[in-house]
Amino acid sequence: MRVILASASPRRRELLKYAVPEFDVIPADIDETLPGDTPAEKSAEYLAVKKARHIAELYPDSLVIGSDTVVISEGEILGKPRDEADAARMLKKLSGKTHSVITGVCAVCGTKCESFSQETRVKFYPLSDDEIAAYIATGDPMDKAGAYGIQSGGCILAESIEGDFFNVVGLPVAGLKRLLDEKFLR
């Protein structure tokens, strides 16, 4: 069976190899606007389902995997920063506090659609303005939810992680592997 990852994320591509050795990548070009009544903790799963279903419509005989990750701090969804000022705002908001990273995952094959969300809690050290500016200057935060990459330069910001590290990177591989084995690849 052909497996398709409906994501352009290089991090998801790397991680999916552990669960599915061979797959194609076809990013879902969709409107990622959330309905106004979507709870923050369900937003990643909503978008993962939307991405997977979009690509599954184009490739109905394939197993399509969609995923999305959000960072939530004090009820606010922190997506990818618009610019350096937005990245600085996000990092200041996360400084010295614990936040949630929620990744939603969806697998679709034919009429079968299964999805889940996984949460990991991350605590940041208190960050000075100089530390924030130096990290932003690396360019690392600009394409990542919450303006940091735990698997790259953002690793020096995190004091502790409670939960699945790979969930913070962008794909809860163990949970996805179990879902695929139980529901799709028996």
Reported as a single tens digit per residue, the pLDDT across 1-46 is: 999 999 999 999 999 999 999 999 999 999 999 999 999 999 999 9
Which residue ranges form the domains of the chain, and what is each CATH number?
Answer: 3-183 (3.90.950.10)
Task: Give the count of beta carbons closer than 10 Å to the beta carbon of residue 134.
Answer: 13
Does residue 186 carry a pLDDT above 80? no
Mean pLDDT computed over 105-115: 97
Task: Assess whether pLDDT exceeds 90 at residue 99.
Answer: yes
DSSP states along the chain: --EEE----HHHHHHHHHH-SS-EE-------PPPTT--GGGHHHHHHHHHHHHHHHH-TTSEEEEEEEEEEETTEEE-S-SSHHHHHHHHHHHTTSEEEEEEEEEEEETTEEEEEEEEEEEEEPP--HHHHHHHHHTSGGGGSGGG--TTTGGGGTEEEEES-HHHHHT--HHHHHHHHHHHT--
The structure's pTM equals 0.95
pLDDT (average), residues 97-113? 97
Read off the pLDDT band of 145 (50, 70, 90).
very high
Question: pLDDT band at residue 182, thresholds of 50, 70 and 90?
Answer: very high
Identify whether 140 is a catalytic site residue: no
Q: Is the pLDDT reported for residue 185 higher than 90?
A: no
Given 24, 29, 37, 68, the catalytic residue? 68
**What confidence tens digit (pLDDT) does each residue in 35-91 have?**
999 999 999 999 999 999 999 999 999 999 999 999 999 999 999 999 999 999 999
In DSSP terms, 7 is beta-bridged to none
